[in-house]
Structure 1
Amino acid sequence: MPYCAGPRRGRRNVRDTAGAATGLRERKKERTREALVDAAQELFLRKGYDATTIDEIVAAVEVSRRTFFRYFAGKEEVALARAMEFEQLFLSALATRPADEAPLTALRRAGTEVLSEFGDEPADGAGHEFLRMRRLIEGTPVLLAASLRNAIELERRMAAEIARREGLTPELDRRPALLVTLYHSVMRVAMDEWTEDEVMDTAGLSRIVEAAWDDMATLLADRWTAGELRRD
């Protein structure tokens, strides 16, 4: 038995060492990817999307063009990287909401959970960066077109998740798609209002979203208030 114990322990150590090495490689790859995204966004915001080259991005990180293309198909993909990460966070949050939550409640609470990741950041934090990149994307036709394509795909995936939660077939039942369209409409109006704020008060984003949902609730109940409903 002592003979058997030795080799088993040795094999386990080899696996542990291999696992640690794999983990180290993955962390290094993630750091490289993050550095490329950070450098690209800094250059895009300072010089503009069209004026920034891939050569400038890789030079800022001190990696090769070949390394860049291991992570991204091109400038468009790296420019939208943070937005796509945000979308994936939302999908993950939605998938883990309690099964007994109503669909709209699950959507709203998943959104609140993700917004809390940067909603209380200071003016120079993640929320500020997100807002500046959103403005850049909306002002750059090629990025805006790609962003709209991503939004359509996100809505499809959200509707599929709602259908899964409710035991529905999205191809046969339009309610998940209608609900997701409603959700995105409210969020788009709220984000547009937030974007108009030159102070870039990211702490107020969640408040704006909740106020927009309150207004939508009155509209869905067909309680249109007489006169102008002013923003808070």
Structure 2
Amino acid sequence: MAAQLTRPATDPSCRVLGLRERKKQRTRDALVDAAHQLFLSQGYARTTVDEIAAAVDVSQRTFFRYFANKDEVALAILADAEDHFVANLGARPATENPLQALRNAIVQTWRELGTARETTGSSSITAALELLQLIEDTPTLLAAHLRRITEQERIVAGILAEREGLDPAADLRPKVLAAVFGGVLRSAHLSWSAGDAPVGDAGPEGMITIIESHFDQLGPALAGDWR
């Protein structure tokens, strides 16, 4: 029998690796936060990679170890939230139909991010809400964001197909529903950016209210008699 190569948890090298990974995560988070603050204070176009790196006291080379370009660091906050949503969608119970799973997963995601802010002091949820407005005001970011939405639709369609035991190449329903979901969510985000959040609630619960109101109209919009 081959020798077991897995290091025990008490091996010092395991602890070093854990420390190294935590340090890398802190550097990444610091770059994301610095970039976000610079984008909000002086605009996306006027902010350079050098300025972002300098704000964290790292080199430009270090920046590019974490992000390919300015677009990627700008959208990192939403990318993390999207990854959280995908994980939540994959974990939704099989008793929910696909639309219920999508709706519950996105509401769960916003609510969990909001709870994390309250319990840890994290500003990620506030930054995500601010970023939605920045995206709409910045054509370069909007184009990159729309590309990400397209990729997310592909991932969501795959999850839905797997949940329902379908072949997405032969059954178009997962792709169609993923596209509809993406459209409803974008419409909700645009409403939030336009200031349609409930009075006094511009945080995650305000966003959830807008998202749910849009989903409430999905059935009537698709099947209802508009006249």
Match of residue 201 from structure 1: 202
Kept in 2: contact 1:119–1:204 (CA 8 A): no
Note closer, same or farther for the CA distance 1:55–1:178 as it changes in structure 2 (3 Å cut): same
Unaligned runs of 5+ in 1: 1-10, 227-232
Kept in 1: contact 2:77–2:127 (CA 8 A): no
Name the Cα RMSD after superposition. 2.2
Normalised to the residue count of structure 2, the TM-score between the two structures is 0.86
Note closer, same or farther for the CA distance 1:47–1:20 as it changes in structure 2 (3 Å cut): same
Confirm whether residue 189 of structure 1 aligns to residue 187 of structure 2.
yes
**Correspondent of 1:55 among 23, 37, 50:** 50
Letter in 1 for 2:167: T
- Supply the distance in 1 between the matched residues of 2:195 and 2:213 (Cα, whole angstroms): 16
Per-residue CA deviation, residues 144-189 of structure 1 (Å, 9 max, x unaligned), is: 1111111111001100110011111111111001111221222122
- Supply the distance in 2 between the matched residues of 1:129 and 1:12 (Cα, whole angstroms): 39
Kept in 2: contact 1:35–1:61 (CA 8 A): yes
Letter in 2 for 1:43: L
- Supply the distance in 1 between the matched residues of 2:34 and 2:202 (Cα, whole angstroms): 24
Normalised to the residue count of structure 1, the TM-score between the two structures is 0.84
Confirm whether residue 107 of structure 1 aligns to residue 71 of structure 2.
no
Confirm whether residue 24 of structure 1 aligns to residue 19 of structure 2.
yes
- Supply the distance in 2 between the matched residues of 1:72 and 1:25 (Cα, whole angstroms): 18
Confirm whether residue 79 of structure 1 aligns to residue 66 of structure 2.
no
Per-residue CA deviation, residues 3-51 of structure 1 (Å, 9 max, x unaligned), is: xxxxxxxx847x5311111111000000000000000110011111111
Per-residue CA deviation, residues 101-138 of structure 1 (Å, 9 max, x unaligned), is: 2111111111111010345768x954432222122122
Match of residue 7 from structure 1: none
User: Percent of aligned pairs with the same residue?
Assistant: 46
Deviates more, 1:84-93 or 1:181-190: 181-190
Kept in 1: contact 2:53–2:63 (CA 8 A): yes
